[in-house]
Copies of this chain bind each other. A is one copy, B any other.
Amino acid sequence: MNLVLNDGSPDLSENQKLVMDLLERKSGPLSAYMILDELRDSGFRAPLQVYRALEKLISIGKVHRVESLSAFIACSHMSCEKLGVTAFVICDKCENVQEVSDESISLFVTDLAIKTKMKAAKSNIELHGLCDGCQNI
């Protein structure tokens, strides 16, 4: 029995908290092995510890995998737990990643699913290019 009054977000294990905190501190995308290296001092020894924590964090929408970077990033919205449809906009020069989550994105995904007769489960939308700052250098 788990009689705790909370906001509905599930409790995280120690490892999950460590990974979550790290991703929030860094704010940018990190590979699983970067995470492993950063957390060695906290007791991490093997990739699986990272991947298992990530699996959980991804499943509850607190972390996203950026496919084209093979990297993981903290959700910047507090909300992907519910919506789940976001796009990532990635500057190939400064490596900044913005997470975009608005009506137009979910609408686009919905339309695409209808048009292709798919029951959509998951989407990856990633845009690469040069950010505002990096265009003018």
How many subunits of this chain does the assembly comprise?
A: 2
Q: Which of chain B's residues have a CB closer than 8 A to the CB of A126?
A: 67, 123-125
Contacts of A118 in B (CB 8 A): 89, 91, 127, 129-132
Q: Is the CB of B131 within 8 A of A109?
A: no
Categorize the interface residue count of chain A: 20 to 34
CB of A18 within 8 Å of the partner chain: no
A residues neighboring B (CB under 8 Å):
67-68, 87, 89, 91-92, 98, 100, 104-105, 108-109, 111-113, 115-132, 135
Q: Are A122 and B128 in contact (CB under 8 A)?
A: yes
| Cross-chain contact B128 with A120 (CB below 8 angstroms) | yes
**A126 to B109 Cα, complex, angstroms:** 10
Q: Tell me if B124 and A112 are in contact (CB < 8 A).
A: no
Of the candidates B87, B100, B116, the one whose C-beta lies within 8 Å of that of A98 is B116
Instruction: List B contacts of A108 (CB < 8 A).
Output: 104, 108
Q: Given A67-B126, A119-B135, A121-B130, A87–B112 Cβ distance below 8 Å?
A: yes
Given A89-B112, A130-B118; A68-B124 close (CB under 8 Å) = yes
- Could you list 6 A-B pairs, sorted by A, with CB under 8 Å? A98-B116, A100-B112, A105-B112, A113-B127, A117-B131, A124-B128
Contacts of A115 on B, CB cut-off 8 Å? 100
